Amino acid sequence: MIERLFKLKERGSDIKTEVIAGLTTFLTMVYIIFVNPNMLASTGMDQGAVFVATCLAAALGSLVMGLYANYPIALAPGLGLMAFFSFTVVGQMGYSWQVALGAVFLSGCSFFLLSIFKIREWIINSIPVSLRAGIAAGVGLFLGFIALQSAGIVVDNPGTLVTLGDMATWPAMMTALGTLLIVALYSRNITGAVIIGILAVTVVSVLAGKVEFNGVISPPPSIAPTFMAMDLSGAFEVGLISIVFSFLFVDLFETSATLIAVAQKGKLLDKDNKLPHLGRAMMADSVASMAGAGLGSSTTTSYAESIAGILAGGRTGLTAVVVGLLFLACLFISPLASIVPPYATAPALMFVAVLMTHSLVHIDWDDITEAAPVVIAAVSIPLSFSIATGIAFGFIAYTGIKLLSGRYQEVSPTMYILFVLSLLKLAIFN
């Protein structure tokens, strides 16, 4: 049955290899069960309920991807979209977390429709590779900025907006220690470097009396405070159109980039260098986003950490199924998740920031019409504290610079449409 379902022999794998690959992927991304509840709790959401929602969303998304699309790709709530949800939509714009969940659900529905009608490929192919890289880097810098803020390393200043905080505080020192540890472990190719760093900082804090230890295992907390709490009527407000679009846009490119990277590493592309059954993978991602919003979590998306499982030999959906089952098992470690302080997860955000800014190596820095929009988008996202605003600046800068440089033929029709929509977003919806 397993052979018929996952086609192990056809892809040159076996059950043992797939299980090991699933465990490897899980260890590289399990940090999300600590980061997500901490971050979303800042919006007023119940931390225990978010923990359960995170585990269930990751489990459901990974299981659907494995069983329906048969790809070794795991899913969980995305960090960049989580930051956008918490700090921009709720924190900066003042919407309730219920309305924000409604926007996540609508973006998932939109993603589902785009996958069915194959509009996704048209949009992806119409937007320059350089601009996609700039947006990815900008989201990475946004996460890094949030990490420094949560640790108290960067604080507000009336004269300069931001300045260096007190590095002698416990959160600042632990964030620095955790970041160094994670990067060092990763450089040594140690599986689970991120989760080791988070747990190490937590253990040190417990031993130092900074955090109270409440045990490791217990029955899962109630998901009732967040289950089906999304406000769809509120999400249909005119002012939220750009928010839904931003959730959709970032998820669209994160998913596409992850699928392409994983497919290349796993040699899953066909003779035409295309990913077979791409529609199924995109459908699995969109279903996970809709289900995650219903459970009470920000956008669920495909994880680049899946490449770790690919390198361990994972070639089929059985790898993703193993990841999903392990996330279900995590439901019983809520006491451990509840004691992890924000400064223990800040190093994970810094590390992901490093990985995401790596996309800048693909930029043609000798072509100023390509490089300038990238820098504008990447810098605008963290400094405006808004992914949506950074994306809009990127579209406007790219199209405007190409037009004024006389290179309008390099701009796709879709970019002109996005240029107009971005101007409207800044003029009306900002």
Spell out the domain ranges in the chain. Answer: 11-429
Q: What pLDDT score does 373 carry?
A: 95
Cβ contacts of 245 within 8 Å, gap of 6 or more: 107, 388, 421
For the packed helices 47-64 and 317-329, what is the interaxial angle rounded to 10 degrees?
160
Show the tokens assigned to 22. 């699933």
Q: What pLDDT score does 325 carry?
A: 96
Q: What pLDDT score does 265 carry?
A: 64
Show the tokens assigned to 42. 């800042």
Q: What pLDDT score does 264 carry?
A: 63
Report the b/e string of 78-114 with b at 16+ CB within 10 A: bbbbbbbbbbbbbeebebebbbbbbbbbbbbbbbbeb
Q: What pLDDT score does 428 carry?
A: 64
Q: What pLDDT score does 27 carry?
A: 86
Indicate the pTM of the whole model.
0.78
Task: List the chain pLDDT tens, one digit each, 430 residues.
Answer: 888 889 888 888 899 999 998 998 898 888 899 989 989 999 999 999 999 999 999 999 999 999 998 989 999 998 878 888 998 889 888 899 999 999 999 988 988 888 787 776 676 667 787 887 888 788 889 888 988 988 899 999 888 889 999 999 999 999 999 999 999 999 998 878 888 998 899 999 999 999 888 888 889 999 999 999 999 888 887 567 778 877 887 777 667 666 766 676 667 766 665 667 777 888 888 899 999 999 999 989 888 788 778 877 888 999 999 999 999 999 998 888 888 888 988 898 898 888 888 888 889 999 999 999 999 999 998 888 777 788 889 999 999 999 999 999 999 888 898 898 788 877 765 5
Q: Return the ∠ at Cα 334 (arms to 106 and 44), rounded to 5°.
A: 45
Determine the Cα–Cα distance for residues 18 and 64; give it in Å rounded to an integer.
16
